[in-house]
Structure 1
């Protein structure tokens, strides 16, 4: 039974990846609005229902693998290593994600994706909904974490005293930081000549914004989060 289950899981993953690859190729060639789910199913040689079994909407299919998962920030908090505070785990998560997506957007396919999002109100709105879903999940994860593992200085912060109050505010601030980094990193990449330079510029941007997040919470940022323009080399 275990082997059969594994084969089914592999087959399901392969089908999902195949549908996504076909869809992304078609979106790049014809544009998001011109391609239908029926077109994708026909080109991928699968049933329309098979596409919907893996992707709820055409927007979800377009973004799959191209933007961070809305579960990522909450998972970073809940699965952080021992001794790592929730906000430090978030800082590391944002930095790692930014570096990955810098590499993605340096490719021709990545640039085409960014151009498509900038030019489509439908796609831009979907991306914002993903970020707000991430905020909701993150607020719950932070509230849970801070009940038993308070952020250093949180209890004596002049701004916040209760984790159930601090968590939604921190999640909202994190959302603003993430939104700026996600959007601005595309502009940084557009002007970059190399991946390392772009990644460094995006990390500097993320650090500056995260430093501001700590300040808004009345907390001292950790040593690895430097104010904007003061990132150590």
Structure 2
């Protein structure tokens, strides 16, 4: 009887550990914000430094709640110190290259367009590219926009404090490039509030092996 109870207890513990492993594996597969992203190059224009705008302010979370980088949340109105704005009459296309701080399983990004009196300078038409070495770039086509499959038309919407969500079919990447071809102000300035990228980690093989090993232990103890 004691042996049976011990086997039952072991089996229950094994099941609990397996369940925990499965839950951890599921959590590990959820999208996460990529930390440490930087802007590695800007072509076609320069920052309007006289106005206090800086290209680095589109990846550091300034203007988001508590000025903390996030994939969600409303962004403050476009202003010097929390966003970027080009000089007048930029030369299209404007290329902004983001360094993802390592090789990532890129899944998409959150984008906050310019707002307030700068909304006419917000990004309109844009295409995307990715690279695995920072030198050779390939087309990156969205599969959904704001959670709707196939909804991407090649343009962001104008204004709005909330993030615009762009998703890709998962791809390994070290860099992403935005090729901006127009703004809502035509040949006027181009402005962006924030860009935050997301990735999906590869499932851990060690978690699966641990679950298999625990199952084997439980089975052996019952025999």
Q: Which of structures 1 and 2 has the bigger CA Rg?
A: 2
Q: What TM-score do the two structures reach when normalised by structure 1?
A: 0.25
Whose strand fraction is larger, Structure 1's or Structure 2's?
2
Whose helix fraction is larger, Structure 1's or Structure 2's?
1
Higher relative contact order (CA 8 A, sep 6+): 2
